[in-house]
Amino acid sequence: MGGIGPPDTPLTQGFLTKPCKPRAALTIHQDVPPKFNLSATDAAIPFSFGKHPLTDCRQSRRMWSLSESSPAAPIARPDTWRDFGDDAFFEASTSYIPPPVRDPAERLARLRLIRSRRVGPATYLRLMAEHGSASQALEILPQIARAAGVDSYQPCPEPVALAELKAAKRMGAALLCLGDPDYPASLAGIPDAPPLLWVKGHNTLFSKPVLALVGTRNASALGSRMARSLAADLGAAGFVIASGLARGIDALAHRASLDTGTIAVMAGGLDVIYPTENTGLFHDIAQRGLVVSEMPFGCEPQARHFPRRNRIVAGLAQAVIVVEAAVRSGSLITARLALEQGREVMAVPGHPLDSRAGGGNLLIRDGAALIRNAEDVLEILGNPTAAPKRPHRPEAAQNPSTPAPQGGVEGAILAILTETPVAEDQLIRSLGQPPRAVAQALAILEMAGRITRGAGGMVARS
């Protein structure tokens, strides 16, 4: 989950203390654009829903305005989601939680309300609290916009919301509204809870204890091993693992917890898989776990959407574990949001000279719990079921057909290597052996499962 987010955001400046308690009201709108002068055309809320949720919804380019005289105007995807989901009318949130919605018309109205431009969680909840229903809020919304200096404003048209419902039905996704019995209770308690969620998979996972594992996209060999180990062991202990479906630590955590329960929170629409390399993983999670998004179908993820996704990841979990992250990482945004939500923040330490470990080390310096293994997490949070049983992993077993090297160059290599990766050329210099002999020995050791190779010619002991 690292590497995406506002690059100039101060992520940690001594903000962590023990115990982790919120210090300020949660504010995530760091990229809210300046006030727009919306014309009747500019105030349009174009969306796109094609015949196939994974492809056609990104093909149309026709734009339309919100004239009441043309309610059946063509639906098109936006070239930008500039102020979608931004709270332009009310900035302060409320603790109000709407009642469960059973009327299909009111459910449609709630979808229209949150899909209206300049309506974010705070505005949505204020309108619901003051007017009692989304239907009434939609009627008063143009007057509120006019009072805020936005003329010719119209809420999201009904055909747009209906098209989104049809796209969700094609994909087999369900809509959860804030206040519904199936809406995750932990997420409902944060200051800017998503008014609605699209989910696909087993939403019973919401009722189980959840931990968030996040980290860099460019994971080291040790960071990758730690992510897999923590996710598998904590999953075996009874925790559901939540993350952001990014490459690197996120994807590793999801894969390692597929059998025990995992939740993937997406930054774009549920039908827009990002990165595309995780398409197979997405479908595995949708079948065996749960995928979640608050964004409209067809919405391409943008930089400002990732902090919004991160607040959901943190809000679902009782603790956030940063496995490996740079100092200026999106994972530290998740850690900060978790802190503001009153969650426990934990981090795995790393080598001080490895930039990928800088963020986690900084969190630990500022008060985050230091995590070496799943037992450390269970000691802090308690064990929801039983002690973790580490599943057998063939990658850690030695190939019985390959004898374990004992002496010669192989033995010298094993005597030098540790679990901290070193460059192969540095190893050659330390050994004082011909490069060809070292390369052959490394190949034998790798086949025997005694060493692991990483990117950039790095090697480490298994």
pLDDT at 48 over 50: no
Query: Same domain for 212 and 353?
Result: yes
Indicate whether 225 and 149 sit together in one domain.
no
Neighbours of 201 (CB within 10 A): 20
- H-helix or E-strand spanning residue 314: helix 305-316
Tokens encoding 330: 């999106």
CA 449 to chain centre: 33
Q: Is 332 domain-assigned?
A: yes
pTM: 0.69
Q: Are residues 133 and 238 in the same domain?
A: no
**Residue 390: what pLDDT?**
40
Asked whether residue 165 falls in the same domain as residue 208, the answer is no
Q: Identify the pLDDT of residue 417.
A: 87
For the ranges 25-39, 131-145, 391-405, 421-435, the one whose mean pLDDT is highest? 131-145
Is pLDDT at 13 greater than 90 in this prediction? no
With H, G, I as helix, E, B as strand and everything else as coil, classify residue 313: helix
* Ramachandran class of 134: left when φ > 0, alpha when ψ lies in -120 to 50, beta otherwise: alpha
Residue finishing a domain among 356, 381, 406:
381
Q: Which residue has the higher pLDDT, 383 or 363?
A: 363
Could you tell me if residue 2 is inside a domain?
no
Q: Is 424 within 8 Å of 456 (Cβ atoms)? A: no
Centroid of chain to Cα 113: 24
pLDDT-based confidence at residue 52 (cuts at 50, 70, 90): very low
Burial class (CB in 10 A: 0-12, 13-18, 19+), 450: buried
Q: Mean pLDDT across the stretch 351-358?
A: 94
Q: Work out the average pLDDT over 5-18.
A: 39
pLDDT in the model for residue 309: 98
Give 152-190 pLDDT, tens digit per residue: 899 999 999 999 999 999 999 999 999 999 999 999 999
- Residue 140 in any domain: the answer is yes
Provide CB contacts within 8 A for 433, sequence distance 6+: 409, 412
Query: Residue 62 above 60 pLDDT?
Result: no
Same structural domain for residues 126 and 253? no
Q: Residue 456 carries which side chain, given as an amino acid letter?
A: G
Cα radius of gyration (the chain): 25
Q: Answer whether residue 412 shows pLDDT above 50.
A: yes
> Average pLDDT over the chain, rounded to whole?
79
Indicate whether 358 and 213 sit together in one domain.
Answer: yes
The reported pLDDT for the residue numbered 384 is 80
Which residues make beta-bridge pairs with 265? 292
Range 278-293 average pLDDT: 98
Does some domain include residue 196? no
Residue 157 φ/ψ, nearest 5 degrees: -65, 150
Residue 176: name the closest of 202, 194, 155 by CA.
194
In this structure, is residue 360 part of a structural domain? Answer: yes
Residues 238 and 307 in one domain: yes
Shared domain for 359 and 302, answered yes or no, is: yes
Can you tell me the mean pLDDT for 93-116?
A: 91
Half-sphere exposure of 188 (CA within 13 A, CB side): 17
Long-range contacts of 39-42 (CB under 8 A, 24+ apart): 39/152, 40/65, 40/66, 40/67, 40/152, 41/65
Q: What tens digit of pLDDT does each residue of 186-204 get?
A: 999 998 999 999 999 999 9
Q: Is 415 exposed, middle or buried (0-12, 13-18, 19+ CB in 10 A)?
A: exposed
Query: Would you state the pLDDT for residue 415?
Result: 83
| Residue that has been written with the tokens 């105007």 in this structure | 73
| Per-residue pLDDT at 393 | 35
Q: Does residue 394 or residue 122 have the better pLDDT?
A: 122
Contact by Cβ (8 Å): 450, 418: no
What's residue 124's pLDDT?
94
Mean local confidence (pLDDT), 30-49: 31
Question: Of 20-29, 84-93, 107-116, which has the strongest mean pLDDT?
Answer: 107-116
427: containing domain: 397-461
For residue 265, give the CATH number of its domain: 3.40.50.450
What pLDDT score was predicted for residue 85? 63
Backbone angles phi, psi at 372, to 5 degrees: -105, -25
What's the one-letter identity of residue 198? W
pLDDT in tens, 445-458: 877 778 887 766 78
144/286 Cα distance (integer angstroms): 40
E strand or H helix that includes residue 460: strand 458-461
Give yes or no: residues 377 and 418 share one domain. Answer: no
The predicted-structure confidence for 313-351, as pLDDT tens digits, reads as follows 999 999 999 999 999 899 999 999 999 999 999 999 999
User: Both 422 and 456 in a single domain?
Assistant: yes
- What is the arithmetic mean of pLDDT over 4-16? 39
How high is the pLDDT of residue 448? 77
The CATH number of whichever domain residue 416 belongs to comes to 1.10.10.10
- pLDDT number for residue 87: 60
Answer yes or no: is 16 within a domain. no
Mark whether 355 and 209 lie in a shared domain.
yes
Per-residue pLDDT tens over the stretch 229-270:
999 999 999 999 999 999 999 999 999 999 999 999 999 999
User: Do 358 and 440 fall within a single domain?
Assistant: no
Is the pLDDT at 355 greater than 90? The verdict is yes
Of 136-150, 268-282, 390-404, which range is least confident? 390-404
Tell me how many domains the chain contains: 3
Determine, yes or no, domain membership for 5.
no
Confirm whether 422 is domain-assigned: yes
**∠433-416-391 over CA atoms, to 5°?**
125
Q: Could you give the CA distance from residue 135 to residue 59 in angstroms, rounded to a whole number?
A: 31
Per-residue pLDDT at 72 = 33
pLDDT for 456 equals 66
Is residue 111 pLDDT above 80, yes or no?
A: yes
pLDDT category at 435 given cuts 50, 70, 90 is confident
Helix (H, G, I), strand (E, B) or coil at 122: helix
Whether the predicted pLDDT of 142 surpasses 70 = yes
- What's the rounded mean pLDDT across residues 395-419? 63
